[in-house]
Amino acid sequence: MQTQPYGTRRGRLGKIISLKNMLLLDTNAILRYILQDNPGMADIVEEQIYNDECCVPVEVVAEVVYVLLKTYKIDREIVAQTLIDLIDTQDAMFFQDAVVRHALGVFASTTFDFVDCLLVGYSKEQQYSVFTFDRKLQRYLSRV
């Protein structure tokens, strides 16, 4: 497996690009794109995604999950699947995409907060140990 230089990432077409040239998408941009509630803004975001190398930080994913769940009252499974579908398009790159994908799967099938799901994702995808006093989370981590 070929490694890539530090501070770089493979782009949509497989070429190595510098993370310095990436366009970070914020929560509102992702929400407009997903919800299509403001067609003008959604179109601008779509244009950015398809014409630029865009990245979505983990923190933005967490806030998007929170807003869709609490403000828009969208079901957990739908929130998770919508974001997994967005990851799968590979048009916008997600930081820690394997961790986020795993976390979204856990989120869809449990009642954990998304941040706890991210901890599970880091544990399972990157073999981090998790220290927590949350017994429910401890039990879950010991089973999977």
Q: What's the rounded Cα separation, in Å, for the pair 118 and 90?
A: 20
Reported pTM: 0.86
Q: Is the pLDDT of residue 1 over 50?
A: no
Q: Compare 3 and 136 and report the one with higher pLDDT.
A: 136
**pLDDT > 70: percent of the chain:** 87
107 three-class SS: helix
pLDDT band at residue 109 under the 50/70/90 scheme: very high
6 three-class SS: coil
- For the chain, which domains are there? 8-143 (3.40.50)
Give the model confidence (pLDDT) of 13-54 as tens digits. 566 666 677 899 999 999 999 999 999 999 999 999 888 889
Q: What's the rounded Cα separation, in Å, for the pair 40 and 126?
A: 39
Of the candidates 34, 35, 24, the one whose C-alpha atom is nearest the C-alpha of residue 93 is 24
